[in-house]
Chain A
Amino acid sequence: MLDRLKDIVRKTSINVCIVNCGGCNGCDIELVACLSPRYDLEQYGIYLQNNPRDADVLLLTGAVTEQWEDKLHRIYTKVPEPKVVLAVGNCPQSGDVFAQEGGRVSAPASNFIPVDAEVCGCPPRPDEIISAVLAVVPKAMVAKGHENKKIKDNDS
């Protein structure tokens, strides 16, 4: 009973936190456009949090720079379980235009933390971001919640 209630809540209220690990800010602007009345994030039950401890989902933007290599994992550990990481834009996936030869970026971000889903584009459009979040996050949150419970039961 309690699990089912948890599942419903996890599906309907998605708390996201934006982490820019050294990008050009293009994707961040598109993410902010999602908050505007035209796209209106909150009608889908997506809420923006400024603290990773309050969030379930990390929206990762930017190619990982030298300073972010250790901090990325620290932020990831602060997010409470179950957690989902979504790479927004091309930078966390391939480094995009910053991955020039002799460049100093450490993309992809999946070298440092597990990335669950990716949104392509440089930058992706707000509706692409929203539809990706809605397509991936509710199912992933429920599945991960169940898995965590199984592990906990086995341990005890």
Chain B
Amino acid sequence: MSSIIWYVYEFARKAWVKAFADAKSQHEIVEKPARFRDFPHVIKENCIGCGSCTASCPSPTAIKLIRDKTTKEKEGLTYPVINKSGCIRCGFCAEVCPSDPKTLECGENHYIETEFTIIPSKRRFIVDDYLCIKCKACMKECKVDAISDINGHIVVDPLKCIACGDCLKVCKVKGAMKGIFIDNLEDQKKLINLIVSSLEEYIENQQDKLEILPRESLLQLSLPLSMFWDEALKIIPDAEIAHEIIGNAVDRLKIRVITWNSDKCTKCQMCVNECPIGAISFDEEKDTIVRDKDKCCRCSICYQTCPFAVIKYFHAKFVLDVDDDGNEEIFITVKPSQIDHDFIGSEHHEG
């Protein structure tokens, strides 16, 4: 009897009843920590319409550039829109956004900051915190203890570093330890720009071959490095640096090429309104469609719009290698876009 009374007494206590009726996890432990990235936030007014956010995005449906209708009062704004059902919250778009202030904001980003250096070396060694796997092989290899672990980040102390380059050799992840040239950043940009634009021009000149290229096949081209070499040395006189910059740029390069066959064009002007950048316009005097190549961001919307196959869209990849005769060549692989290659279509084709 006493035990029953004790039970009733125990369960009738206010604290027990409250805890029983209100057994919920506390709100603060389930909500999102502040350091987590959320979906990117778009500030329309800052956008310069360069298209680098769409190019950097790993998810095909996540981000799209759109253009407001141009009215009499003002020109329509170009700005990116985020599709939340495609976005993976990686923050790449915010990281690459070159406008100042940024159009896209998405939590913390990884910047390469230029700092003061005292070593009389052409290279400066830095750790890309994003790629670094924290194996600490570089810390063990370093003779002067310049590399240290600060709050879980591997950091090179520029005051201690003697630029021997041993850390670069032992690094297991390609690109995690970077030996970058710091004193001629503008020249490096010029050189990369020269290489990319001349490669694109070279591919566009092969239009007659590209026109007849079947959908599933590849076009392989090669271009000797000696074609650019003299001009490259004009920009950067040091052959070693110039070669490394060209190699780094070409090996990772993946560009999108648009060819335009104006013979087929029926001047329907569908592409003019669809272009998010406004790079395509109709020249009424000459009765032709004009594409501004410098403005174009190669987003492929015109290719998807055009009903007469005037526009073709290709992906090109590059590698710098030595051919059989020992000459250095840039090998190019051009692949037609598979963009409307839907699942049902391919199944039908196989059957």
Chain A positions within 8 Å of B, measured between CB atoms, are 37-40, 43, 90, 93-97, 99-102, 104-106, 118, 120-122, 125-127, 130
Contact = CB atoms under 8 A, between A and B. Distances in A.
B59 to A, nearest CB: 5
Given A39-B25, A127-B30, A99 B87 contact: no
26 contacts: A39-B25, A39-B30, A40-B25, A43-B23, A90-B59, A90-B86, A90-B87, A93-B85, A93-B86, A94-B83, A94-B85, A96-B59, A97-B60, A97-B88, A100-B60, A101-B60, A101-B341, A104-B343, A118-B85, A120-B84, A122-B87, A122-B89, A125-B36, A126-B30, A127-B30, A127-B31
A97 B89 CA distance: 12
B86 A94 contact: yes
A99 B61 contact: yes
Given A97-B59, A99-B60, A125-B36, 4 more contacts: A90-B86, A93-B85, A120-B39, A130-B30
Interface of B is mostly: loop
B338 A43 contact: no
A122 B339 CA distance: 23
**Top-9 shortest CB links A-B:** A102-B338, A122-B88, A93-B85, A120-B84, A127-B30, A94-B61, A101-B338, A94-B86, A101-B339
B35 interface: no
B293 interface: no
Contacts of A38: 25, 29-30
Given A121-B89, A122-B89, A95 B343 contact: no
Interface of B: 23-25, 29-32, 36, 39, 58-61, 83-89, 337-339, 341, 343
Nearest to B30: A127
Contacts of B341: 101-102
A95 B61 contact: yes
A133 B61 CA distance: 25
Given A39-B25, A106-B343, A96 B88 contact: yes
Contacts of B29: 38
A97 B58 contact: yes
A97 B62 CA distance: 9
A76 B87 CA distance: 27
Contacts of B339: 101
Contact of A96 (B25, B36, B86): B86
A109 B86 CA distance: 14
Give the interface centre of A37, A40, A94, A127 by most chain B CB atoms within 10 Å: A94
A128 to B, nearest CB: 8
Contacts of B88: 90, 96-97, 122
Nearest to B315: A101
Contacts of A105: 343
